Copies of this chain bind each other. A is one copy, B any other.
Amino acid sequence: MVIKEVGRRIRLGLVGGGPGSMIGETHRIAARIDGHYDIVASALSSDPERARQAAAELGIAPERAYASWQDMLVQEAARDDRVDVIAIMTPNDSHYDICMRAIDHGFHIICDKPLANTLAQAREIAVAAQRKGVEFCVTYCYTGFPMVRQARDMVQNGELGEIRQVHLQYVQSYLAGELPKGWRTENKRGGDSLVLMDIGTHAFHLGAYVTGLDVTKLCADVGSAIPGRSVDDYVSALLHYENGARGSLWVTNAAAGSEHGLSFRIHGDKGGLEWHQEEPNKLIHRRHGGFEETITRRLGPEMSDGAQRSTRIHIGHPEGYLEAFANLYTEFAERVAERLKGIDSPRRATLYPTAADGVKGLALVAASVASTHHGTWQDVDRS
Measured CB to CB, the residues of A under 8 A from B are 4-5, 9, 22, 25-26, 28-29, 32-35, 57-59, 161, 164-165, 167, 171-174, 176-177, 219-221, 223, 225-227, 234, 236-238, 244-248, 250, 252, 254-261, 265, 267-272, 277-281, 285-297, 302, 312-323, 375-377
Closest 4 CB pairs of A and B: A260-B316, A257-B286, A259-B316, A317-B321
When the two chains form the complex, which single residue of B219, B267, B291, B322 contacts A285, counting CB atoms closer than 8 Å? B291
Q: Which residue of B lies closest to A262 (CB)?
A: B316
Interface majority SS (helix, strand, loop, mixed), chain A: loop
A221 adjacent to B219 (CB under 8 Å):
yes
From B244, B256, B375, give the contact of A376 (CB < 8 A). Answer: B375
Q: Would you give 20 A-B contacts (Cβ < 8 Å), ordered by A? A: A22-B313, A33-B322, A164-B225, A164-B255, A176-B288, A238-B238, A257-B272, A257-B286, A259-B296, A259-B316, A260-B317, A277-B317, A279-B318, A280-B318, A285-B291, A291-B295, A313-B322, A317-B321, A318-B321, A320-B320
Question: Given that A35-B58, A174-B315, A293-B292 are contacting pairs, would A267 and B258 also be in contact in the complex, using a CB cutoff of 8 Å?
Answer: yes
**Among the listed B26, B259, B289, which residue makes an inter-chain contact with A302, where contact means beta carbons less than 8 Å apart?**
B289
Known: A33-B32, A35-B59, A268-B256. A261 touches B292 (CB 8 A): no
